[in-house]
Structure 1
Amino acid sequence: MKTHIPNFITCLNLLCGCLAIYFIFQQDLITAAYLVVAAAALDFMDGMVARVLHSYSEIGKQLDSLADMVSFGVVPGAMMLQLLTRSIETASASANFPEWLPFAGFLITIFSALRLAKFNIDTRQTSSFIGVPTPACTLFVISLPLIMAHDDFGLTGVILNPFVLLAITVLFSYLLIAELPLFALKFKNMAWQGNQVRFIFMGLSVLFFAIFNFTAIPLNLAIYILLSFLKPSSL
């Protein structure tokens, strides 16, 4: 019975992703963004529950990857498509952006699939990551409508610039498959020794959220990448 508990949580992750897609195409990006946050929490929880219950299974591994492809592959691509569509609609009439441009958002979906396939067969990624994980990429993308909805820093005009959105799309498509070593937020124990980088990252994340609200999400991702470059001995 306990074998099915992590799989049930994974299915809830998948459900959140499916609902997020529905709301994206209903133009409700905020509800979709919150559903992705729930999916990310469930994605973290299913692995934690599996470790606690010692209930690993091959079907659980495959199900997790398939659920992630929806919640952290299709969803960010669809979200970027909608953001690019809005950016073109608000751009100057003289800009003459091609009608197919919003579909470039699905580059994130394609490279997320490559990222997940690579992760499934890469033995180097058992305790850390090579390339930005799909949930991190997705959280960055869904932070954009949240930042615009609570725009304390006047960033809406910057975000709804087609060139900015295209740059984000290309950058994250690369980062998903880049040979970039990154630490994982998996605690083998709660001791400071060996977990310094994780505690520092979590502390900074909470601080940034308190100060910058949703703008903290892209800042936290930048800190995550920066800390991964630092030597563990220096932390």
Structure 2
Amino acid sequence: MRQIPNIITLCNLFCGALAIICVLHAPEFRTEFNGTEYTIVTPEPIYWASALVVLAAIFDFFDGLAARLLRVQSPMGKELDSLADVVTFGVVPGMMLYRLLRSAYFQQPDVFDVSLFNLAPALLVPCFAAYRLAKFNIDTRQSENFIGVPTPAVGLLVASFPLIVLYNPYNLGHWFQNIWVLYVIIFLLSYLMVAEIPMISLKVKKKTLKDNWTRLLLVVLTLVSIPFLKFAAVPFVFICYVILSLLFPPMKAEKA
């Protein structure tokens, strides 16, 4: 029984590792430009990776729930959870953003002049995710609420981008094929993960409406927005989450 939460956590990690394989798996072709041959990796759709991140987020929710219900919470489980999260919600989003940046640069006239230096900013996301998770493990202020945006929220947000590009709800897809929009997203997400901003947690400690109305509002906004916005509901809810946290900071985090 003690290992059930850890097994669920490892399912999260398994999904993250499989998502990395999905992002990496892409056919190559050779082309010639100005007499020089180039090998190009086609920007393969990474929709399966997006689905795996969502599945991993479900496992991430249930491992903590199982540990609390079975009363088998442990320091090892906490560390294992962070190690899994840095892969699934740090490395995978970073690789997705790398591929999206690469795809965006493929639309530029000087595509063959693009270097790794242009694409490397995408790797800031896993770096800041790792920093945030390490800080979370030793920050006693975050027992009930968060300081900075949690990595699963960032992972789910970035996982929605390829699906928005594919289905293009409200013609939003082209924004995620713009290099400058992607750069702004990368730097903003990196900052939000480590910022000293009290953020709402979905953990319900008290059952009164007064203590949970922001959580309830987020749930309602999510359910209402999905039929209308489709996959664009994810960025919409993420923005609402940040705004609500800024306007109505959790009291515990605010006093800390």
Same fold (TM over 0.5): yes
Match of 2:90 among 48, 69, 73: 73
Deviations, residues 157-196 of structure 1 (Å, cap 9, x unaligned):
2210111111111111111101111010011355424211
Tell me the CA shift for residue 71 of structure 1: 0.4
1:122 and 1:189 mapped to 2: Cα distance?
22
Deviations, residues 4-26 of structure 1 (Å, cap 9, x unaligned):
11111000000000000000011
Consecutive unaligned residues of structure 1, counting only runs of 5 or more, are: none
Structure-1 residue corresponding to 2:125: 108
Structure-2 residue corresponding to 1:230: 247
Structure-2 residue corresponding to 1:154: 171
Size of the aligned set, in residue pairs, is 232
1:124 and 1:42 mapped to 2: Cα distance?
24
2:154 and 2:169 mapped to 1: Cα distance?
23
Match of 2:146 among 129, 140, 145: 129
Deviations, residues 110-157 of structure 1 (Å, cap 9, x unaligned):
111111111011111000001111111111111110111111211222
What do you get for the CA RMSD once the two structures are aligned? 1.7
Structure-2 residue corresponding to 1:21: 20
Structure-1 residue corresponding to 2:214: 197
2:2 and 2:111 mapped to 1: Cα distance?
58
Does residue 163 of the first structure (1) align with residue 180 of the second (2)? yes
Q: Percentage identity across aligned positions? A: 42
Structure-2 residue corresponding to 1:178: 195
Tell me the CA shift for residue 93 of structure 1: 3.1
Tell me the CA shift for residue 50 of structure 1: 1.0
SS at 2:170's partner residue?
A: coil
Greater shift after overlay, 48-57 or 189-198? 189-198
Structure-1 residue corresponding to 2:40: none
For the 8 Å contact 1:91–1:161, the answer to whether it is kept is no
Tell me the CA shift for residue 211 of structure 1: 1.0
Match of 2:80 among 44, 54, 63: 63
2:48 and 2:130 mapped to 1: Cα distance?
24
